[in-house]
Structure 1
Amino acid sequence: MSEPTGVIHDIGYQRYTGPRLGRRHVFGALYLHGLRTAFGLGRSAKAKIFPWLVMGIVLIVAAGLTAVRTQTGQVVMTYAQFADSMSWLVIFFVAVVGPELVSRDLHSGVLPLYFSRPLPRGDYALAKLGSLATALWLLLGAPQLVMFLGAAFTTKDGMGGVWDELLDLLPGLLYAALWAVVFASVGLLIASLTGKRAFAAGGIVAVFLMTAPIVGILSIMPSRTVNELSMLGSPTALIHAVGEYTLGDLLVPGGNKDYQIGGFGPVYVAAAVLLVAGCVTLLLLRYRKVAAR
C-alpha cells in the first residue's frame, strides 16, 4: 500500500505589509461611497438618470430666476425661498436615494461584512446619514450659488452689492442645510426599517406628504394657539416655521411680522432639534439590532 503524498504549491501569496488604515479612513471611505451612490457616480447610466434629472431641474430653475433678475432688476425669489419652493423635489430625491443607500445593504445581507472591519455599528449609520445630508445640501445649495454668481456679476453697486448679496446667500445656505439634515434624518430612519426599496420609498413619501393635511386641519381650528402650533404636524411645515422665526424677511418678505407661528418660534426650533436627535438615536439603535443578528 503506497503512502499518501502531498504537494505544496507556491501560488505567490504574500502577507500585506502596507499601512493599515483605521476607523477614520473606513468611515471616510463609506461616506464618500454613499455620496457617490446618491448621484449615481461609478454606477450604471440608469442609476444616474433620476439624481441628475433632479439636479438639472433645480439648476434650470435657478438659471431662469437669475435671467429674469438680470433683465428686470427684480428679485423674483430669495435664496431661502428657493429652498422652500424645491421641497417637493427634495422629498422624491430622499425617497429614491435613501433606500438606495441602506435598504440595498439590508436586502443583500452584506452588513456583517461591513462590521467585520474596524467600523463600529454607529459609524455605518452616521456615514450614510452624512452622505444623504450632504447630497441634499448640494441639491439645494448649488442652484443658490448659481443665483449668487448671476447677481454678483450683474450688480451695479460694485463690491458693496456683492457683499450684500453674500449676506443674503449665507442664510439661504444654512436654511438649505436645515432642510438637508431634517429630511436625511427622517428619510434614512424610514429606509432602514426594510430591505425592500419600494416599501421604503413609499414610506418616506407617505410620511412627508400625508402629514401635510394635518397642518391644514389644525390651522383652521377655532383655537388661536392650535393654529400657531399647527406646523408641528408635518416635518416640511416644521422646517418652514423654523425658517420664518430665524430668517424673517429673507423667507417672508414685506416686513410682515404677524407670522402663522405667533410667538412659538423657540418651540419650533426645539421641536426641530428634538426631531433630528430622535431620528438619529433611533437610527443608531436600529443598526445595533441589525448587527447583532
Structure 2
Amino acid sequence: MSDAGVIHDIGYQRYEGPRLGRAAVFGALYQHGLRASFGLGRSIKAKIFPWLVVGIVLLVAVINAAARAQFDVILFDYFEFDDTMSWLIIFFVAIVAPELMSRDMRAGVLPLYFSRPLRASDYVGAKVASLITAVFLLLGVPQFIMFLTAAFTLDGGISKVWEEFYGALLPGWAYSLLWAVLFASISLLVASLTGKRAFAAGGIVAFFLMTAPVVAVLTILPSETAQDLAGLASPMSLISGVQIWLRDGVDLGLDVGRFGPIYGIEAFCLVAAALLLLLARYRKVAAL
C-alpha cells in the first residue's frame, strides 16, 4: 500500500460575490421579524392567532365603515379605533414579541448572529422595527379602509376628502405609530429577559393589565392633582393622555388637566428607557 495522500476535488470554490455587510443582515432580520409577526413561512398553528387578530380588527373597521356609509353614523373615529383595539394589541404583542426574542435565546443562535458583522444595536433595531411595523399595519390598514369608505360617501368633493385625509387619517396614523412604538419597545424588553415564550407572554400581559387598576384607584382619590396624574400609572392611559394633550383636551374619559406635557415626557422617557435597557441587554450577550 502506498502512504501517499490523495487530494479529492469536491468542487469547493471561494465566494467572489459582493460582501453585503451589516445593512443586508439588518434588512434580512427585519424582513424575517415582520414575516414571523404574522406567522408567514411557518406552520398553520403559528398563523392562527396573528391572523385571528387581523380578522377581528378588519371586521371592526368594516362594520364602522358600513355604519357610516349606510346610516351616516360614526361608531368611533380613527383615534377611538386605536383605543378600542388596544386590548387585542396587548395579546398580539404578547404572542409575537417572545417569538422574535425568546426563540433566539432558547435556540442558542445569538452567538452565531454576533459572530457575523452584526452589532447588538443592529439586532435590537431590526427586531424593534419589525414589531413596530407589524403593530402599525395592524392598526393603520383598518384605518385606511375606514378612510376609503368615508372618501366615497363624503359630500363636498375633493376638498372634503382632503380634509378627512389630512385632518383625521394622518393624525390617526400618528397615534397608531405611538401605540406601536410603546407596545413594541416594552414587550420586546420583557421578552428579552427569558428564553421561555410562555413566561415572556405572561410577563407582557401582566405588565400592561396589572397597571390598569392603579389608574382606577387614583382617579377616585379626592385630590384633583392625583386624578389628573392618574393616567401616568399605565402605558395605555398614558398614551390616551398624550392624545388628550395634543388634541387640546378632547374628552376621552380621562382628564389630564394642566399636566399634558408631563404625559408626553413620560411617554418619551418610557420608550427611551425600554430601548436603552434592551440594547444594554444584548450588548452584554454579544460580549460573551
TM over 0.5: yes
- The TM-score normalised by the length of structure 2 is 0.97
Q: Distance in 1 between matches of 2:248 and 2:25?
A: 41
Written as runs of structure 1 = structure 2, the 5 A alignment for 1:125-274 is 125-166=124-165, 167-248=167-248, 252=251, 260-274=255-269
Residue number in structure 2 paired with 1:94: 93
Give the equivalent residue in structure 2 for 1:17.
Answer: 16
* Farther off after superposition, 132-141 or 159-168: 159-168
Q: CA deviation at 1:74?
A: 2.4
User: Matched residues in 2 for 1:154 and 1:118: separation?
Assistant: 53
Task: State the Cα distance separating 1:76 from its structure 2 match.
Answer: 1.9
> 1:70 Cα deviation (Å)?
0.6
What's the CA shift for 1:165?
1.1
User: Once structures 1 and 2 are overlaid, which stretch shifts more, 88-97 or 48-57?
Assistant: 48-57
Tell me, what secondary structure is at the counterpart of 1:51? helix
Q: Which amino acid aligns with 1:289?
A: K
- Contiguous gaps of at least 5 residues in structure 1: none
Which digits, 9 at most, give the CA deviation of each residue in 1:87-138, with x for residues without a partner? 0000000000000001000001000111111110111011101100110000
What corresponds to 1:290 in structure 2?
Answer: 285
Q: Distance in 1 between matches of 2:230 and 2:153?
A: 41
> What CA deviation, in whole Å up to 9, does each residue of 1:166-219 have, x standing for no partner?
021000000000000000010000000000000000000000001100111111
Equivalent-residue separation in structure 1 for 2:248 and 2:151 (angstroms): 23
User: Does the CA contact (< 8 Å) of 1:171 and 1:247 recur in 2?
Assistant: no
Q: CA deviation at 1:259?
A: 5.5
Q: Which has the larger displacement, 3-12 or 56-65?
A: 3-12
2:272, 2:286 → 1: CA distance?
A: 21
Residues 259 and 102 of structure 1: is their aligned pair in 2 closer, same or farther, counting only changes over 3 Å?
closer
What is the DSSP-based 3-state SS (H/G/I as helix, E as strand, rest coil) of the residue aligned with 2:206? helix
Contact 2:111 2:286 (8 Å CA) reproduced = yes
Aligned length: 287
Does the CA contact (< 8 Å) of 1:228 and 1:264 recur in 2?
yes
TM-score by length of 1: 0.95
Report the 3-state secondary structure (helix = DSSP H, G, I; strand = E; otherwise coil) of the residue aligned with 1:86: helix
- C-alpha displacement at 1:158, in angstroms? 1.0
Q: Do the aligned residues in 1 keep the contact of 2:231 with 2:254 (CA within 8 Å)?
A: no
Tell me the equivalent position of 1:112: 111
8 Å CA contact retained: 1:83, 1:140: yes
Question: What letter is aligned with 1:171?
Answer: P
Hey, what's the Cα distance between the residues in 2 that align with 1:213 and 1:123? Answer: 37
What is the Cα deviation at residue 248 of structure 1? 4.2
1:5 and 1:84 mapped to 2: Cα distance? 77
Match of 1:32 in 2: 31
Distance 1:132 1:190 in 2: 14
Off by >4 Å, runs of 4+ in structure 1: none
After TM superposition, give the deviation of residue 7 of structure 1 in Å.
Answer: 1.2
CA distance in 2, matches of 1:80, 1:153: 21
